[in-house]
Amino acid sequence: MRRILAAVALTATLLAAAACSSDDDGNDDQAGVGTKISVGVIPIVDVAPIYLGKQKGFFSSRGIDLTLVPEQGGAPIVKGVLAGKYQFGFSNATSLMAAKTDGAPLKAVANGVASTGRPGRDFSAIVVADGSPIRSAKDLAGKRVGVNTLKNLGDTTVRQSVRLAKGDPATIQFQAMPFPEMPSALQDQKLDAAWVVEPQLSEVLTQGGQVIASNLVDTAPDLTVALYFTGTAMIEKDPELVKHFTEAINESLRYASGHPEEVRATVGTYTKINDVVRTAMILPSWPNDINRASLERLATLGRADGIFAKPPVLDDLLP
């Protein structure tokens, strides 16, 4: 009997030691810990906070085992969430408003990213290659302009920059292309101009390219560019999971805002950048608060551009 008790005690001691020697810093390196969820993201600087939050254990500490899946743009992420491929997603506000006006059962749960509001020093810009004859947004009339997805945020914000420069946005030839492919497309003259965000913005500039307009700044002051969202069915089915995910995202946004050098290092873990680009990147703003007035402006412009079939109702979309 004593031998059995001793064996039981030894086993308990070994299990306790194994538990203490495992990762106890809250990181997601622990296999099988927490509720498994997938989140659709775009491999750009915008989503650095969620990658950083995963590294820091902000999700695992709340019982979430997080997998991040790269997509080309917000529209396919919206489709992925609605189809059940992802439990949550990151998408630009235009994609979300368009889906909501079409009756999609989704709702934002947290802010995603915002413009810095500084012309010429934003994380987003319309750029041209070195030696381009295009000098301002007015010159984009009739030109081939790269955007990551058609009839979306890129279209509306680029058109707004052209309007402000007294140009005609009606004749712009928009071409859909993943952000990482745009710098080489400019170099190879497959595009006349492109809407890029970081890190592709700094990549273009290190190749001698030029910024001709800050399209997000031209659209609205401190524009709320994107949001994290989920399906309404998820909110009804597992409100605790939604609550914990939202808390983790908000903590991630706050941490990213206060640790820019960690953000720069993190971006290199999910997209290819060199040290020059990493250092040169202009980081966006990551406030917890959503700028509703800026989204109302974006909705008005999108409606005028024919992106929305009817005016978006923000109360139905926002948390």
pLDDT digits (tens, 9 = 90+) for 159-185: 999 999 999 999 999 999 999 999 999
Torsion over CA of 260, 263, 268 and 273, rounded to 10 degrees? -40
The architecture of the domain spanning 124-219 is: 3-Layer(aba) Sandwich (3.40)
- Given a cut of 70, whether residue 24 has pLDDT beyond it is no
Q: Spell out the residues 6+ positions from residue 222 whose beta carbon is closer than 8 angstroms to its own.
A: 114, 115, 116, 117, 285, 291, 294
CA angle 253, 254, 259 (to 5 degrees): 100
The first and second tokens of residue 298, run together, are 């974006």
Residue with tokens 């997938």: 38
Say yes or no to pLDDT of 10 above 70.
Answer: no
State how far the Cα of 161 lies from the Cα of 147, in Å rounded to an integer.
Answer: 14
Q: What is the CATH number of domain 27-117+222-313?
A: 3.40.190.10
Segment 37-63 mean pLDDT: 97
Q: Which of these ranges, 13-22, 25-34, 176-185, 189-198, has the smallest mean pLDDT?
A: 13-22
Tell me, what's the pLDDT at 221? 87
pLDDT at 6 (0 to 100): 37
How far apart are alpha carbons 175 and 173 in whole angstroms? 6
Kindly report the average pLDDT of the chain as a whole number: 90
Placement of tokens 């492109």 in the chain? 194
Read off the pLDDT of each residue in 148-161 and give the average, rounded to a whole number: 95
At 26-43, the pLDDT tens digits run: 333 334 468 999 999 999
Report whether pLDDT(73) > 90: no
Provide the whole-model pTM.
Answer: 0.86
Say if residue 80's pLDDT is above 80: yes
Q: Which residues contact 128 (CB under 8 A, 6 or more apart)?
A: 134, 186, 192, 193, 194, 209, 210, 212
Whether the upstream peptide bond of residue 199 has omega within 30° of 0, thus cis, is yes
If you ran DSSP here, which 8-state letter would residue 293 be given? H
| pLDDT at residue 142 greater than cutoff 90 | yes
Is 17's pLDDT higher than 70?
no
Instruction: Report pLDDT for 33.
Output: 65
Q: Which of 6, 53, 51, 61 is nearest to 30 (CA)?
A: 61
The distance in angstroms from the start CA to the end CA of the chain is 61
List where CATH 3.40.190.10 sits in the chain. 27-117+222-313, 124-219
- Region for 99 from its dihedrals, namely left if φ exceeds 0, alpha if ψ lies in -120 to 50, beta otherwise: alpha
Q: Report percent pLDDT > 70 for the chain.
A: 90
